[in-house]
Structure formats: structure tokens, C-alpha cells
Structure 1
Amino acid sequence: MKKLLGIPALITIAAASTLTSCTSADDTSEISAPETTQEQADEPTIYRQYVALGDSYAAMGSRDAQVTGPAECFRSGDNYPAVLAGDDRIKEFVDATCASAVTHDITSVRTGDEGFISAQVDSLTEDTDLVTISIGGNDIGFPDIARCFQEATAAGTESDCASKFPDSTELFGPTPEMLGHTYSSIQNKAPEADVFVTGYLPLITENGDCPDAGFISDEDRAWAVSLTNELNELISKIASELHFTFVLPEEAAEHTVCAEPSQRWTDLSGVETGAYPMHPTALGQEAMTQAISEAMSAKL
């Protein structure tokens, strides 16, 4: 990855320069190379251009946040790409995320309500050296699964969704191949970029009290957790094959709808958190941002 070295904020380069400027020409042999090397190493790396790709888990933040882009994309001002873009190490930011996107929409033109939406990879340029992407959930039918849970809630009955869907092998179908194609397309368009692939924050835990999800049966809780874990494992595996970095915040399972509203990273209804139903909360988007930031630091 090609990066530019930027001017650091609030570090001691000025002090180091003062020390070296006080040395006479006759004493230059006393200025050691290791000090200069360390000085350069302390300078932060600047990403020229950050491009965010993906679906609603990347695009949608708080319901009351300002949105940009095509109406159906719901690109929120407090989604994790927008928050991450505030990092001092990033110079330029392009948000190409779009709600309800599937892998095909990353590489192909999509028809929107107000016209065509460009393929998300078309936002990548020769200057792109940082990419994040969230994709795959809609390919395996997350919207249909969410709709099943919502219908159970509206009917006031216990859910029975697992029995209405095929097993995971059929549910996943061509998703592994589509993910591989999608990631390869990103690599081809931005071969020198650091790519961070974000996993899906779980909506619910398999065990324990969960009053706000009382309408979800025990069988469906176990099924939803298993499905999310399987998808994240698949995404992580395929991403690693292209040397992309998989990111999922630690302790995510402790911040589902089963947690107190003030601690939730995801929510089912969003009523108490201001989130969109079945999506990350603002706190969840911040947690993902922090996890990506730490992963970035580990690569520098």
C-alpha cells in the first residue's frame, strides 16, 4: 500500500528539531541515525482516500441522523464509515454504501427509485488506499428473516421462523462464490488498498433473559445466532484468502437486544435506541468504528 506521510499533531518532532539545530557543523557526527529513524517512525500514516462499500449495516445509523445519496441508500451521518472518516489519518472520504445492497450491487449498476445507482466499486480510484465493506447478509435473506420476526411481533405470537426457511447450505447458496468475486473486484480496482471487511453484529443471544425479544422462540434464538455466526465465519475465511482484514468488535454478544438499551449495539425495534429495526444502534456503529481503527493501527 502506498501512503503519504503527514504532519503529526501534538508530538515531539519540534522538540527534536530544536535539539538538532543547536548542534554545530563540527558536531554533526554526534547526530545518530537511529534518532532520525525514530522521528520518522513517529509520524502517522495518512490514507489518501477512504471508500466505504456495503449494505445497510454500514450505511444506516440513527433514524434521526441526516442521510445523503439516493433516497433508498440511507447513508447516515453517524454510520461507521462517516465516524471513521473523522480519523486524522484519513484525508478524503467517499461513502458508497447503500441499504439493501447484495454482492451483485457492489460490482454492477443497480436500479433505484430515482434512476440508476452506480456499481459501488466504481467509487474506487487509483488513490484509494483504504476500503471498508459490509456485505453478504442480504444475499442469504436477512430481510426475509427480519420480516418473519416482525410479523410474529405484530401478531403477538411466538415466532416460528426457523422452520420456514431452508437449511443453511441452501440458504447460503452461491454466497461464498459471490463474496469471493466481490472481494476480488475490490482488489483489482484498488490493489494497494488496505481492505477491512466488517462482520455482522448479532441481534440476539442464544441464552439468558431477553425481555424485549420475548416473542422470539428459543429455537429461533438458537437458529438466528447460529446463522449469524456461520455468515461471519464465512466472510472471515474468504476475506483472509485475499489478505483482507476481518473486523468484528469484541464482546458483541454482550451488546444485543438482550442488554440494557443504553448498552445495545443492535436492536430489534429501535424504539428505545433510535436505531432502525433489526440494525446497529449509534453505539454499535461507534463500536465498529473503534474496532476498525484498532485494526488500522495494527497494520501501521
Structure 2
Amino acid sequence: MIRSVIAAIVLVVAIAIAPPAHASAGEVYVALGDSAASGPLVPDQVLPDLGCWRSNRNYAHLTAKAIGTAAFRDVTCSGADTKDMYQPQGTELGSVPPQLDALSQDTTLVTVQIGANDVGLTGFIEDCLNLLPPPVGDACNDDYMENGQDTWRVKTDALRPKLTALVADIRARSPQARIFVVGYGTYAPPGGCYPRVPIIRKDADYIRATLMYFNQMLAEQAAEAGAGFIDLQTPSTGHDPCTSPGTRWIEPYVPASPATPFHPNARGMRGFADAVIAAVSGV
């Protein structure tokens, strides 16, 4: 209960200190991030940098269209982590420039969704897939305890200074920009939905708690760095991979809509865009 109250306070503080959010037709918008932002396999995949698996219906494209930007640069790329903000990223179809190279002195709006690949969250979810329930199949959450510590929380906490530094580096390159750190969506409801998504109850709750802690960390670091934070966890509640194909925003291990497993589909990108548009427009 105390932790929930603290998390709620953190989110309120993050929103309260966020830069004034008033989008205008003159915005110069740069979108940074990983596959949760780029939209792999969501129609239509666009050039350049086809190896980044970037959709023209990801939330950044939808946001840019909705707010009527003067200029828009989307450099989100599947597989990206924080180091790819600063150095070229290799993809299956060639190397792409550092994402921060897209920033300029005239940039006025930046969204950045990054960090999941630094700690391997997608791989962690896939590792917990269990086609055979107990007692044949084993829970995966115990595999991530070392010396009494949860290794995912250790990795998450180790990412904190990198995110604070990243926001500072974005601000140094684009001093006029309003910067928004974007969180991640809801990947599991309480208890999961075995066998629809073959992750047993104990592991589904562990995944849920791990992602909630990760999003809390992002909100805290955004607040510390003086950036805004956009919560995608709350609006995607009830649209997780356990819900029906016509309701879900994030696809399960076997997708029913064009998207990679445990990534947003087109419906999810629309829902996430609504959250981003509201945040950057001050609604």
C-alpha cells in the first residue's frame, strides 16, 4: 500500500514539473526510441532505415499529424537501447546513425521511449513462456533472484543515471525543446490468462510487477531531469495481450494483427497516440 502511494505521488510530481505542454503548428518534433515506439510490422513500414521496422502509423507519426508539425523526424528503431542514442546502430539491413543526430537547435518537441532493451525486458517476457503448467513446467521468476536480489530491479536501478544523462544531452542539443519520456504499456493483467497466453499466474504477476517498477523508474528519472512523463500503462489497462483480438493493443506471442510478439499493434499505436497528443497539447 505504501509503495502504491509513493508511486502515485511520483507520477503526480512528474506531471507537475513537466515543461508547459502547448503544441503548436510550428512544432519541430523529433521522436526517439526503440521498437515499442517504432511499430515493427504495423502497416505500413517506411523508408529510410527499413531495418528499424518503423511504421507510418506509430504513435509519433499519428501525433505529428494531429498537432500539425512544421517538421517531423522519426528515428525510432527496433532493437535500440540507450547507447544507440549516441552511436550508430546496426540492423539486419545496415547501420543507422545515432538517434541524437536527429536533434537540432530548432527542435521544439522530443519524445523518447527507451530502456527496455537495456535491461532485456522483451526477452524476459518470452523466457517466461511456459507451454506446460506446473508441476511439469517451472515458474521463471525464481531464475532472476541472485543473492536475495531481484536482478531485473537491479538492472532497472542501474539505468537511472543513463536516463538522467540522456535527457540532459537532449536538452544540450535542443535547448528550446519540451522533452517527454514515454513509459511502456500493460503487458499482463493480474494473474495472467494461462493458457491463452502461456505464462503461468505467478510469472504473469511477476512480469506485471517488474514492468510497473520499470515505469515508476522512468517517471522518477523524468521528474529528476525536469522532463515530462507520458504514462502508457494506465490507458492500456484492459487492452493487454490477454484480451480479445478486437480489444488488445499489445499482441501476444502469436499475434492476430500485424505486429511483433509483445509489441503494440495499430490499435495500440492509436491508443498510445491519444495519450501522447493529450500530453504534448496540455489537454
User: The TM-score by the shorter chain falls in which range?
Assistant: 0.7 to 0.9
Question: What are the Cα deviations for residues 110-156 of structure 1, in whole angstroms up to 9, with x where unaligned?
Answer: 23445432110110011110111110111111232133145x34999
TM-score (ref. length: structure 1): 0.77
What stretches of structure 1 of length at least 5 have no aligned partner? Answer: 1-42
Q: Cα distance 1:227–1:119, how it changes in 2: closer, same or farther (>3 A)?
A: same
Which position in structure 2 is the counterpart of 1:181? 165
Give the TM-score, by structure 2 length: 0.81
1:122 aligns with 2:106: no
> CA 1:231–1:98 in 2, change beyond 3 Å: closer, same or farther?
same
Find the residue that maps to 1:87 and give its secondary structure.
Answer: helix
The answer (yes or no) to whether the contact 1:159–1:216 under 8 Å persists in 2 is no
Cα distance, 1:211 vs structure 2? 4.9
Note the C-alpha offset of 1:234: 0.5
Q: Secondary structure at the match of 1:185?
A: helix
Equivalent position SS for 2:112: strand
For residues 225 and 155 of structure 2, the distance between their equivalents in structure 1, rounded to whole angstroms, comes to: 24
Q: Alpha carbons of 1:211 and 1:169: their partners in 2 closer, same or farther (altered >3 Å)?
A: closer
The Cα of 1:270 is off from its aligned counterpart by 4.9
The one-character-per-residue Cα deviations of 1:222-244 (angstroms, maximum 9, x if unpaired) are: 11001100110000111112221
Provide the rounded CA distance (Å) in 2 between the counterparts of 1:68 and 1:208. 37
> What are the within-5 Å matches in structure 2 for residues 220-239 of structure 1?
220-239=203-222
Q: How many residues align?
A: 255
Q: 1:22 aligns to what?
A: none
CA distance in 1, matches of 2:32, 2:137: 36
1: distance between equivalents of 2:47 and 2:139? 37
User: Aligned runs of 1:218-257 on 2, under 5 Å?
Assistant: 218-249=201-232, 250-257=234-241
CA positional deviation for 1:191: 1.5
Distance 1:209 1:277 in 2: 16
Match of 1:162 among 124, 141, 155: 141
Aligned-partner Cα distance in 2 for 1:93–1:270: 33
Structure 2 CA distance for aligned equivalents of residues 190 and 142 of structure 1: 30
Establish whether residue 292 from structure 1 lines up as the match of residue 276 from structure 2. yes
Equivalent pair of 1:162/1:220 in contact (CA under 8 Å): yes
Root mean square deviation, CA, Å: 2.5
Rate the CA distance shift 1:159–1:182 in 2: closer, same or farther, 3 A: farther
CA distance in structure 2 between the partners assigned to 1:165 and 1:180 by the alignment = 26
**Partners of 2:160 and 2:192 in 1: how far apart?**
32
Q: CA deviation at 1:266?
A: 0.9
- 1:197 is the counterpart of 2:181: yes
Counterparts of 1:68 and 1:149, CA distance in 2: 34
Q: CA contact under 8 A between 2:23 and 2:281: conserved in structure 1?
A: no
Matched position secondary structure for 2:71: strand
Q: Of the candidates 33, 43, 52, which is equivalent to residue 73 of structure 1?
A: 52
Q: CA deviation at 1:290?
A: 0.6
- The whole-number CA distance in structure 2 between the counterparts of 1:175 and 1:144 is 17
Match of 1:143 among 99, 122, 136: 122
When residues 219 and 64 of structure 1 are mapped into structure 2, their CA distance, relative to the original with a 3 A threshold, is: same
Matched, 1:206 2:206: no
Q: CA deviation at 1:49?
A: 1.2
Q: Percent of pairs identical after alignment? A: 27
If asked which structure has higher relative contact order (CA below 8 Å, sep 6+), I would say 2
Give the number of the structure whose alpha-carbon radius of gyration is greater.
1
SS in 2 for 1:263: coil
Is residue 193–residue 201 contact of structure 2 (8 Å, CA) maintained in 1? no
Give the strand-richer structure, 1 or 2: 1
